[in-house]
Structure 1
Amino acid sequence: MIGISDIEAAAGLIAGHVVRTPTVESPGLSALLGVPVTAKLEVLQRTGSFKARGATAKLLSLSEADRAAGVVAVSGGNHAISVAVMAEALGVKATVVMAKSAPARAVEIAEAAGATVRLTDTMDDAFALMSRLQADGLTMVHPFDDPVVVAGQGTVGLELAEDASDGITDVLVSIGGGALISGVAAALHARRPGVRIWGVETVGAQAMSEALAAGGPKPVQLSSIVSTLSAPTVSRITYDHVTGLVSDVLVVSDAEAVQGTLDLADHAKVWAEPAAGCLVPAARRVLERVGGDARLGLVLCGGNATTSDVMSWAERFNLR
């Protein structure tokens, strides 16, 4: 399990390389949900998502030999962007592997940063190719099966604990492979004991909820449009953190996640991707369970969806 000392060490390591993003009370979301809401704006992070934190922590932890040999990463989009951009900034050669379903914008950004981009038919194929490239001598920067990466993502929770006003009772965090919620939960468990942590997934990207049902990580079938949450399995480290520190994992539909993205734009004045939009419908479910005296914290994990993508999804689901 990741401890607060690991997260504090990661915070010191990445300071100056990433942004300490704003933690703000949101009058618009508070009015929409009917309770006080605080938002952690990782949409304003370098590379557009929290992923820059874990990627930077891992890259800075490597030996000179490993950095010279280069790194490889697999991603549904945001991890690839972060590894590519931060590797360029730190002078490390990077290869990123993505499924063809990954956002075109993510491919463009990774290539513009100088990374070698390899596309595969499925995420399962992407993880398999990453393993082969690792065997060829590249150092893997895994998106969630690495304690250094988890500690780096945990700096989100450390900042939230330090910057949010007193009284937050429940914090909602999206789950792909689970590094973000694992790190955030570890930080809040240490700094804000008693705060409940809730995970959120989308239908067709349910690796953590299926792992919880099965009693451990297992491969899942992916079908969600939310590629940035589409991990083919969670890891033992993230599974253990969620089982030990998280109240429950909620699953919402793709349509609800896209509607949440529209709600964030309309009410919070924040542009986010559906991986963050899914928190809005999940928040309503949390309130049904814990009551109207709750004070919510939402970790808005990233904003790397194009306007055309969101409008296309909204049209597909007949949303307004």
Structure 2
Amino acid sequence: MIGISEIETAAERIAGHIVRTPAVPSPGLSELLGAPVTAKLELLQRTGSFKARGATAKLLSLGAAERAAGVVAVSGGNHGIALAVMAAALHVKATVVMPRSAPARSVAIAEEAGASVRLTDGMDEAFATATRLRDEGLTLVHPFDDPVVIAGQGTVGLEFAADAGELTDVLVSIGGGGLISGVAAALRALRPGVRIWGVETEGAQAMSEALAAGGPVPVALSSIVTTLSAPAVSQSTYDHVSALVHEVLVVSDREAVRGCLDLAGHAKVWTEPAAGCLLPAARQVRERIGSGARLGLVVCGGNATTADIMSWAERFGLR
């Protein structure tokens, strides 16, 4: 289990390489949800998502031989972008393995940053390819099954605890679980009374299915939200969530896209569905907790194009 000392070490390590993103009260979301809302705007992070934190923490922890070997990552989009950009900044050669379902923009950004991008037919094959490349000598930077990466993501919670006002409930999206594991570890250490809620989309339910099964299990992936589509969580992220997280909520893809439109209209921020899914989940939390709720949202990323959002909105009848 990651503790606050590991997260503080990660914060010191990555300072100067990443952005301390703002945590701001949102009058628009507060009115929409009927409760005070503070948003941690991690979509303003370098590379457009929180993933830059964990990738940078890992890259800076590597020895000379590991850096010289080059790094490899598997990604549904954001981790690949983060590793490609941050590795280039630190003069490390990077290979990124993505499923063909990954956003075309994510592939293009990784390639433009200088990474070698390999496309596979699905996430299972992507993970297998990355594992093979690791066995051939590259240094694996796992998107969530790595204590250094989890500690790096936990710096989001470290900052949120320091910068936000009073909160009762914090909502965090879950893909493989690295972000919520780190954020939960930080918040439980610094704000032990705050409840932490995870959010997944239908068809990307690796954590909720793991919790139901009593441990990580492979899941069938069908969600449009590729950045949340891990084929399974890790034992480490499962352990963190089962110990530290109040509950994991699951919302539909349609609700996640609607959440993106609501965040644009009411919070004036442009997000991807991995962050949009927080809005319908926040409504559930508000209804369950009641008028005393003071909500925190970790707005994890904004790497979706206007064409992506409009296409999904059309598909789900939201235009």
Question: Within 5 A, what are the aligned runs for 1:124-135?
Answer: 124-135=124-135
In the TM superposition, residue 258 of structure 1 has moved relative to its aligned partner by 0.1
Which amino acid in structure 2 is aligned with residue 134 of structure 1?
A: R
Counterpart in the other structure of 1:70:
70
The corresponding residue for 2:305 is 306
The equivalent of 1:259 in structure 2 is 258
Aligned to 2:18: 18
Partner SS for 1:193: coil
Match of 1:87 in 2: 87
In structure 2, what is the Cα distance between the partners aligned to 1:42 and 1:292?
Answer: 27
Matched with 1:286 is 285
Instruction: Name the aligned partner's letter for residue 203 of structure 1.
Output: E
Task: Work out the CA distance in 1 between the residues paired with 2:204 and 2:179.
Answer: 15
Task: Report what 1:248 is aligned to.
Answer: 247
Q: Deviations over 1:165-209 (max 9, x none)?
A: 1x2000000000000000000000011111000000000000000
Aligned residue number for residue 162 of structure 2:
162
TM-score (norm 1): 0.99
- Any idea what SS the aligned residue of 1:297 has? strand
Deviations 1:213-245 (A, max 9, x none): 000001000000000000000001100000000
Q: CA deviation at 1:292?
A: 1.8
For 2:95, what is the secondary structure of its paired residue? strand
1:14-163 aligned at under 5 Å gives the runs 14-163=14-163
1:282 maps to a residue whose letter is: A
Alignment of structure 1 residues 159-198 onto 2, 5 Å: 159-165=159-165, 167-198=166-197
- Residues 61-107 of structure 1 show CA distances to partners (whole Å, capped at 9, x for unaligned) of 00011001100000000000000000000000000000000000000
1:289 and 1:218 map into 2 onto residues whose CA distance is 29
Deviation at 1:108, TM superposition (A): 0.3
Amino acid aligned to 1:116: S
Moved >2 Å (runs of 4+): none
Deviations 1:103-149 (A, max 9, x none): 00000000000000000000000000001000000000000000000
Structure 1 residue 248: deviation in Å? 0.3
Aligned pair count? Answer: 319
1:318 aligns with 2:317: yes
Q: Secondary structure at the match of 1:173?
A: strand
Paired letter, 2:58: K
- 2 CA distance for matches of 1:20 and 1:57? 14
Q: Give how far 1:291 is off.
A: 1.2
Is it true that 1:205 corresponds to 2:204 in the alignment?
yes
Letter in 1 for 2:26: S
**Which residue identity does 2:229 align to in structure 1?**
S
Deviations 1:251-303 (Å, cap 9, x if unpaired)? Answer: 00000000000000000000000000000000011112211210000000000
Once residues 261 and 150 of structure 2 are traced to their aligned partners in structure 1, the CA distance between those partners, rounded to angstroms, is 29
Structure 1: runs of 5+ lacking an equivalent: none
In 1, Cα distance between equivalents of 2:141 and 2:112: 19
Partner of 1:268: 267
- The corresponding residue for 1:239 is 238
Could you tell me how far apart the structure 2 residues matched to 1:89 and 1:7 are?
22
Question: Residue type matched to 1:208 in 2?
Answer: M
Equivalent residue of 1:148, what SS? helix
Percent sequence identity over matched residues? Answer: 79
Between the aligned partners of 1:111 and 1:274, the Cα distance in structure 2 is 23
- Cα distance in 2 for residues equivalent to 1:223 and 1:288: 28
Secondary structure of 2:296's match? Answer: strand
Extract unaligned runs of 5+ from structure 2: none
Distance 2:214 2:63 in 1: 36
- What is the alpha-carbon distance in structure 2 between the residues aligned to residue 288 and residue 129 of structure 1? 44
Q: Output the aligned Cα RMSD.
A: 0.4
Rounded Cα–Cα distance in structure 1 between residues aligned with 2:144 and 2:296: 22
Shift of 1:210: 0.3
Shift of 1:28: 0.4
